[in-house]
Structure 1
Amino acid sequence: MADLHVHPDRLEIHLTAAEKVLALRRDDLIVPRESIRSVAITEDPWIWIRGIRAPGAQIPLTLATGTWKFHGGKDFLLIKGKQRAAVVIDLDGEEFSRIIVSTPHATKLIETLRLDASETAAGGEFID
């Protein structure tokens, strides 16, 4: 599962080798914190999917990994399982309009992202 790292200036999503292959992506995702418009927890990440898979992998209600293109841009999904909470991150001015990541640490991730940058000087780490 992906490793999530929160730093004072950015959120890093380090993908495993398998996730990179399934998503057809070479690099990890790095999101500047000033680009994060909103963050929300959802118990059903499947209802947040919009558009079509291009490129990526999908097994309905089991796995969605990669890029989903829609009329207004594209989203990056890393959703695994049916009974797992996820974090929905809306972005401004980045490669993706939205990132959806399933994680057992959703509440802690949101709390850390909402802290002022000076309060997270040491950074935080969430390993899925």
Structure 2
Amino acid sequence: MAVLFVHTDRLEIRLTRAEKLLSFRRTDIVVPLENIRSAALTDDPWVWVRGIRAPGAAIPLTLAVGTWKFHDGKDFLLVKGTRTSVVIDLEEQEFSRIIVTTAHSIELLRALRLPPTEGTEIID
């Protein structure tokens, strides 16, 4: 499973060798925090998948690793099963959205420290 690091200025997703092989990527994904528009938790990451796989690997409702292209751009998916995932919307980056399954989804959202949007309720 990929390792996610939130630095003071960027989010870094370090892919394993298998994930790089399945996604046809040579490099890890690095996103400046200023380019993250929003992030949300989801119990069903499959409803957020859009477009077609190109390139990448997929087993329906089980595994999705790689790039998914759609009419306005492309997304990067690292989805495993139906576990809790984080959907990160980006602007001015290689990908429009990153969907990643992680056991530490709540900690990831807290580490990103995104400002709340209008109408968002924060519960401690």
Structure 2 length-normalised TM: 0.91
SS across alignment from 2:39: strand
Give runs of ≥4 in structure 1 deviating > 3 Å.
Answer: none
Please give the root-mean-square deviation of Cα atoms over the aligned residues, in Å.
Answer: 1.0
Which residue number in structure 1 is paired with residue 92 of structure 2? 93
SS across alignment from 1:74: strand
Partner amino acid, structure 2, of 1:109: L
For the 8 Å contact 2:45–2:79, the answer to whether it is kept is yes
Report the Cα offset of residue 54 of structure 1.
0.1
Structure 1 length-normalised TM: 0.88
Report the Cα offset of residue 81 of structure 1.
1.2
Partner amino acid, structure 2, of 1:111: R
Give runs of aligned pairs for residues 86-125 of structure 1, distance below 5 A.
86-114=85-113
SS across alignment from 1:47: helix
Which residue number in structure 1 is paired with residue 51 of structure 2? 51
- What residue ranges of structure 2 are gaps of 5+ in the alignment? 116-124
Q: How many residue pairs end up in the alignment?
A: 115
Report the Cα offset of residue 68 of structure 1.
0.1
Map Cα deviations across residues 80-108 of structure 1 (whole Å, 9 max, x no partner).
Answer: 012x1000000000000000000010001
Cα distance in 2 between the residues matched to 1:95 and 1:115: 20
Which structure carries more relative contact order (alpha carbon 8 Å, separation 6+)? 1
Cα distance in 1 between the residues matched to 2:80 and 2:93: 24
- What residue ranges of structure 1 are gaps of 5+ in the alignment? 117-128
Which residue number in structure 2 is paired with residue 5 of structure 1? 5
